[in-house]
Structure 1
Amino acid sequence: MRVIRSAWGVVAISVIASMSIAFGITVLITPEYESRAQMFVSTSNQIRSDVYETNVFSQQVVGSYAELATGTVLASKVVSDLGLDLTPAELTEKVTTSYSPATVVFDIVATDNSPELARDIANTMGTELSELVSAIEVSTNGDAPSHEVKFYSLAEASDSPISPNTVMYLAIGAVVGLLIGSALVLARHRIASR
Structure 2
Amino acid sequence: MTGPITEYGRVLRGRWRWLVWGTLIALGATTLLLLIRPPLYRYEATVFVRTPGDVSRVLDGGDSYARGRAGTYAALARSDDLAARVIADLGLDVTPAELSTRVAAVNPSGTALIGFEFGARSPGEAEQIATVFLAELASTVRTLESVPGSLVPRAELVVVDTPAPAVRVVALGATVPVTLLAATLAGLVLGATAAALRSLFDRSIRDPLDAARISGLPLIGSIRSGPGDALTAEVQAVLHRLLAALPQPGHGVITVIGTGPGPATSDSAVFLASALTAHGDSVLLVDLDFRSADSTRLLSERGVPGISDVTCGDTTASSAAVRTRVGDFMGVGTAPGDLGGPAGSAALRRTVHDLRELYSFVVLACPSVTTAAAIGAESDVAVLAVRENATTEEELRQISPLLPANTVVLFDARIRPDSPRNSEPDRQIEAAE
TM range (shorter): 0.7 to 0.9
Aligned-residue offset at 1:146: 1.9
1:25 Cα offset (Å): 1.8
> Any stretches of 5+ residues in structure 1 without a counterpart?
none
What is the alpha-carbon distance in structure 2 between the residues aligned to residue 7 and residue 100 of structure 1?
Answer: 46
Question: Which residue matches 2:57?
Answer: 49
* 1:141 lines up with 2:153 in the alignment: no
How far residue 127 of structure 1 moved from its aligned partner, in angstroms, is: 1.3
Per-residue CA distance 1:6-32 (angstroms, 9 max, x = gap): 982xx2332222211111122123454
More helix by share: 1
The reply to whether residue 155 of structure 1 matches residue 169 of structure 2 is: no
The question of 1:189 aligning with 2:197 is answered no
Which residue type is aligned with residue 163 of structure 2?
A
Alignment match, 1:171: 185
Question: Structure 1 length as normaliser, TM-score?
Answer: 0.82
In the alignment, which of 113, 120, 126 is matched to residue 118 of structure 1? 126
- Cα deviations by residue, 1:62-108 (Å, 9 ceiling, x for unpaired): 11111111211111122222332211111111111111342222111
Question: Is residue 2:85 matched to residue 1:77?
Answer: yes
CA drift of 1:53 comes to 5.5
**Counterpart of 2:26?**
22
Deviations 1:87-142 (A, max 9, x none): 11111111111113422221112234434433333332211111111122222236
Is the contact made by 1:47 and 1:54 (CA closer than 8 Å) also made in structure 2?
yes
Instruction: Confirm or deny: 8 A CA contact 1:37 1:123 kept in the other structure.
Output: no
1:12 aligns with 2:26: no
Q: Residues 179 and 54 from structure 1, CA distance in 2 versus in 1: closer, same or farther, beyond 3 angstroms?
A: closer
> Residues 126-178 of structure 1, C-alpha deviation per residue, up to 9 Å, x if partnerless?
11111111122222236322211121124332446324511111111112112
Aligned to 2:101: 93
| Cα RMSD for the two superposed structures | 2.7
1:5 CA displacement: 5.0
- The alpha-carbon distance between structure 1 residues 154 and 67, as it changes in their structure 2 partners (threshold 3 A), is farther
CA–CA separation in structure 1 for the residues paired with 2:119 and 2:41: 5
Residue identity opposite 1:192 in structure 2 = T
2:46 touches 2:159 (CA, 8 Å); kept in 1?
yes
CA contact (8 A) 1:123 1:155 kept: no
* Matches of 2:67 and 2:115, distance apart in 1: 14
Q: Tell me the percent identity.
A: 24
Within the alignment, does 1:128 sit opposite 2:136 as a pair? yes
Local SS of the residue matching 1:52? coil
Partner SS, residue 157 of structure 1: coil
Matched ranges for 1:25-40 at <5 A? 25-30=29-34, 32-40=40-48
Determine if contact 1:115/1:159 at 8 Å carries over to the other structure: yes
Are residues 106 and 89 of structure 1, via their aligned partners in 2, closer, same or farther at CA, if it must alter by over 3 Å? Answer: same
Q: Relative to structure 1, is the Cα distance of residues 66 and 127 closer, same or farther in structure 2, using a 3 angstrom cutoff?
A: same
In structure 2, runs of 5+ residues without a counterpart are 1-6, 205-390, 395-433
Residue identity opposite 1:152 in structure 2: V
Q: Distance in 1 between matches of 2:143 and 2:43?
A: 26
Deviation, 1:188, is 4.1
From the superposition, tell whether residues 116 and 26 of structure 1 become closer, same or farther in structure 2 (CA, over 3 Å): farther
Contact 1:119 1:155 in 2 (8 A): no
Number of residue-to-residue matches in the alignment: 191
Q: Which has the larger radius of gyration?
A: 2
Q: 1:113 to 1:188 in 2, by over 3 A?
A: farther
Higher relative contact order (CA 8 A, sep 6+): 1
1:109 aligns with 2:123: no
